Structure 1
């Protein structure tokens, strides 16, 4: 007599299921995301502890040498060095047969050194994981904001966030912005006026303001921001650069401070999407800029319309929006809650409500992940 096991009951179809990736594809995607997250945090560690900079300055090191030179703990240094070599960011240059790894020496290639230690390089992305780390420290607050409303302000995200933003923008503003402006005649002619007054709304740590002043030595630049630590850092940089007589930094809301009029040009670099009330600020900018002046919004170069799946730029911008920009914007009462992914029709709507007739995309290409918009009277 034989018996047979009963056939397993079929798994019921998911209610409302729609076509999409398989379970294996989703699992692989989640695994890859976690792997990338771990590696980003390891870059954060190497950046914050000075390990990359030490390897670049002093050459290949064993774990003991790196720990001794940087005042850190050898066992952690060894684990980090091994992880970085496995990830392909560091190179093992000696001691490959060392069983316990204590005598292995690790070094940085020229390309890795540029991307991870050179603050003047356009490829310098070591500051980027700082933004991820800033958001990670606030995940409980973010979850609460998602449940009940409100947000997490820029000030609450702390120094990692503000330093990440400043250090990522620094090389682009100092080295790429002057050429971009000179290559756009409508902007260059105004900025090159003798005694031109230039307004920099949402100036942050001031690198955009300093770049404008350096590129146009006859101009006087006024930077405005609501973040006190950033304004303090900007003032120190202006003094260090010898530009304190031509660059002024003010702490406050641009909706009020920009209304003193008489500016030849106004810029808003990567900040309109963060503003609780962008219409009020754009209206203040309109009133502050002379009729024969120019006003420019520089914001994320997102797609013209929502498309899913999206490309890597869209994906990273939604990441910034979920964990940084949208929570920051919604931390202010009555915020419109724009988020990082501000497409042109949204900016057009804000501009028109502020009294501008429209916006035009300016011919500035390959400028980080940013797009230049001219506000039209």
Structure 2
């Protein structure tokens, strides 16, 4: 059989794209280094700065700093001034790279692919055997990276935008109700709600003991430990509190039996209560999810989300690009009649379910 003809233009374009992706992966390592070493922070608001001065400000070796700066300039992550041999971080770049309170701050996210590489042997075995990989069996950078990355997005949107999009929920929270945050991780979402609604009581549940320890520490540091408690529990056996609000933040798709989790939530929900489901943004069909954001979600889903669901038995492995229709079907099977999209962002669907 004759080999297929090669379209040189298509080949060149694809090689360019593949090399660009490889360059981005290399650059991600330097983004993480720059954040941890304080290089971006030292550049923020400083105007043009030379490599030697930046090295002095950060206590780093000048030769390493210069090479790092050149890589940043080559990737357009900082500007380079030829005449003065200086580098500059723009205000826009600072929001993404230096401001740890910004909802756009991205350096922590690079811990996730770092953990994916570290866990490559586990993933290879999972592919070959069909077995799962539990959340807690991954390299610790996964849990820390996910928690830190989502924290700022939740801080920007959860209280001012997402909760008000739910019918009557803010009024209940202001009056005082009981809230379950299922799959709470490090508890950032729980803490944010506890800070905003002091008359309500919040209970975070997660099957990963180390994350629960971190959540308790975060609640204490935020001064809300008296109204935000945390306990190791699965999505089908946390205490029945007859909750006014049950939240699943970016976690239902990770569960081995999401229908059972939704059914249990419906059982422990108080009359008139609401389930808030926050999931990665996705359309319902693969051909509508062919984007850079979806590529990122599919990649994480391959090694993390699907792997954990399979480790829990894999009754229904949704993956991180489940889409609204499949999620609605989960709650329909759980006996929940009301399900709607309350809000959306480029990264998340915010869905409401009620009995």
What's the CA shift for 1:213?
Answer: 1.5
Match of residue 329 from structure 1: 309
Matched, 1:266 2:246: yes
Query: Offset of 1:238 from its aligned partner?
Result: 1.0
User: Given the alignment, which residue of 262, 266, 280 partners 1:300?
Assistant: 280
- Distance of 1:273 and 1:309 partners within structure 2: 16
Deviation, structure 1 residue 64: 4.4
> Which residue is equivalent to 2:3?
12
1:275 matched residue in structure 2:
255
Q: 1:295 to 1:309 in 2, by over 3 A?
A: closer
Whether the aligned pair in 2 keeps the contact of 1:190 and 1:294 (CA below 8 Å) is no
**Bigger Cα Rg:** 1
Deviation at 1:38, TM superposition (A): 1.8
Cα deviation, 1:173-205, whole Å, max 9, x if unaligned, reads 22321122234443223323x331011111111
Question: What's the CA shift for 1:39?
Answer: 2.0
Structure 1 pair 231–39 and aligned structure 2 pair: CA distance change class (3 A) = same
> How many Å separate the matches in 1 of 2:74 and 2:10?
29
Distance 2:335 2:266 in 1: 7
> Aligned match of 1:186 in 168, 175, 194?
168
For residue 312 of structure 1, report the CA deviation from its aligned partner: 2.8
**Residue ranges of structure 1 left out of the alignment (5+ in a row):** 1-9, 99-103
Could you give the per-residue CA deviations for residues 224-282 of structure 1, whole angstroms, max 9, x where no partner exists?
1112222222111211111111111112213111x413211111011001111212221
Counterparts of 1:33-52 in structure 2 under 5 Å?
A: 33-52=21-40
Equivalent in the alignment of 2:93: 112
| Deviation digits for residues 98-128 of structure 1 (CA, Å, limit 9, x no counterpart) | 9xxxxx4433222222211212212212222
Q: Deviations over 1:65-91 (max 9, x none)?
A: 444554544433222111111211123
Q: Does 1:371 align with 2:349?
A: yes
Deviation of residue 150 (structure 1)? 1.8
Distance 2:320 2:289 in 1: 17
CA distance in 2, matches of 1:329, 1:228: 18
Give the corresponding residue for 2:113: 132
**Aligned-residue RMSD, C-alpha:** 2.7
For 2:180 and 2:222, locate their aligned partners in 1 and report how far apart those are by CA, in whole Å: 19
Residues 348, 358 of structure 1: 8 Å contact kept = no
SS where residue 127 of structure 1 aligns?
Answer: helix
Contact 2:257 2:309 in 1 (8 A): no
CA 1:184–1:282 in structure 2 vs 1: closer, same or farther (change >3 Å)?
Answer: closer
Count of matched residue positions in the alignment of Structure 1 and Structure 2? 353
1:207 shift after superposition: 1.3
Distance in structure 2 (CA, Å) of the matches to 1:145 and 1:74 = 44
**What are the equivalent positions in structure 2 for 1:41-190 lying under 5 Å apart?**
41-56=29-44, 61-93=49-81, 96=82, 104-180=85-161, 181-190=163-172
Please tell me whether the aligned partners of residues 72 and 78 of structure 2 are also in contact (alpha carbons under 8 angstroms): yes
Contact 2:191 2:219 in 1 (8 A): yes
TM-score (norm 1): 0.84
1:212 Cα deviation after fit: 1.4
Point out the more displaced range, 117-126 or 59-68. 59-68
Task: Flag structure 2 segments of 5+ consecutive residues without an equivalent.
Answer: none
Question: C-alpha displacement at 1:346, in angstroms?
Answer: 2.0
Which position in structure 1 is the counterpart of 2:271?
291
The answer as to whether partners of 1:274 and 1:325 remain within 8 angstroms in 2 is yes
SS state of the match for residue 255, structure 1?
coil
Structure 2 CA distance for aligned equivalents of residues 160 and 70 of structure 1: 24
